[in-house]
Amino acid sequence: MINHLAIIMDWNRRWAKSKFLPVFAGHKAWADNAKKITKLCDKKWIKYLTLWALSTENLQKRWWDEVEGIIKLVNSIEKYLAEMIEQWLKFQVIWDTTKLPDDSQKILNWVIEKTQNNEWIVLTLALIYWWQDEIIRWIKKFILENKDKHNFEELVESLQPKTFRNYLDTVKLPLPDVIVRTGWDIRHSWFLLYDSDYSEYYYTQEWWPGFDEKELDKVINTFDNSKRNFWK
C-alpha cells in the first residue's frame, strides 16, 4: 500500500495550448485536478500526497502576467480551508516560499496554522522548488547552528546522512513510496532526490489535467505488484 505519493504535475501549459486555450487555463486545470487527486488519495488510503506545484524557474523565466496568475492560484487555497478541515486534511509547504509575495506567505501560513492539528491526510505543496538551493540553504543553516559547538574537524565529522536529512525541508515527511511524472518527459528534475533512493518511479504520458482515477489506479497497481526487497 502506498503511504506517500509524490507527483511532478507536468504539461499543464501544453494541455491548454492543445485545446487552443490561454496558458492560464492550463494552470487553472492544474489546481482543479490537484484538488480532485487529493480527494482520491484520501479515498484510497494514501496518507501523504506531495505535489510539485511551482518551480524556481516558473518565477524567473515566465512572463509576469503568467506568474501573476500562478500566484493568484496559490492565494486561492484559502477558499478551500473549510473543505480541508472537513476532510481532516493537514496542509503544509516545503522549500523556499520566502520568494513569494508577502500576502501569499501570509495566506499559506494561515492555512497551515488552521490545519496543523489535522491528521487524516497530509497535503504538501512544493513551492519555489530547486533542490540545489535547498542544499545551499541546508549548509548555511548547519554551519550557523554549529559554528560555536565544534572545531572544524568535529564539524566535518558531524556531517552524516541522518544529520543531513534533519536539515532538509522534507524532514517532516516519510520517504516517498512512488514518484509520478506526468507528460512525456522521463527525468526526475531533482525532485525529492535525497529521499528517493528506494522510491518507485512511474512515468505516464497522460498530461496532468487528464491524470484521473484510472491513472491513479495504474500507479497503485504498479506499486502493489513491484518487487521490493528491502525495509525502509
Condensed to tens digits (0 to 9), the pLDDT of residues 47-98 reads 999 999 877 666 666 666 777 888 888 899 999 999 999 999 999 998 878 8
**pLDDT at residue 67 in the model:** 77
* H runs (alpha helix) in the chain: 12-18, 23-43, 56-61, 64-75, 81-86, 102-115, 131-146, 152-157, 161-166, 213-224
* Gap between the Cα atoms of 49 and 232, Å rounded: 18
pTM of the model: 0.88
**pLDDT at residue 230 in the model:** 62
Which residues 6+ apart lie within 8 Å of 103 measured at CB? 75
Q: Is the dihedral of CA 34, 35, 39, 42 positive or negative?
A: positive
Q: Using alpha carbons, list the distances in angstroms from residue 20 to 13, 17, 55, 62, 137.
A: 11, 5, 24, 19, 41
Residues with active-site annotation: 10, 58
Q: Domain spans of the chain?
A: 4-130+174-224
- CB count within 10 Å of CB 105 equals 15
Domain 4-130+174-224, classified CATH 3.40.1180.10, yes or no: yes
- The identity of residue 129, as a single letter, is Y
**pLDDT at residue 54 in the model:** 74
Condensed to tens digits (0 to 9), the pLDDT of residues 127-169 reads 877 777 778 888 888 888 877 766 777 777 777 877 788 888 8
Return the higher-pLDDT residue of 205 and 56: 205
**pLDDT at residue 165 in the model:** 83
* Gap between the Cα atoms of 10 and 183, Å rounded: 6
Which residues 6+ apart lie within 8 Å of 182 measured at CB? 7, 8, 9, 10, 11, 204, 206, 207, 208, 211
Cell representation of residue 152 = 572544524
**pLDDT at residue 22 in the model:** 87
- CB count within 10 Å of CB 208 equals 26
Geometric angle at alpha carbon 47, from 45 and 51, rounded to 5°: 115
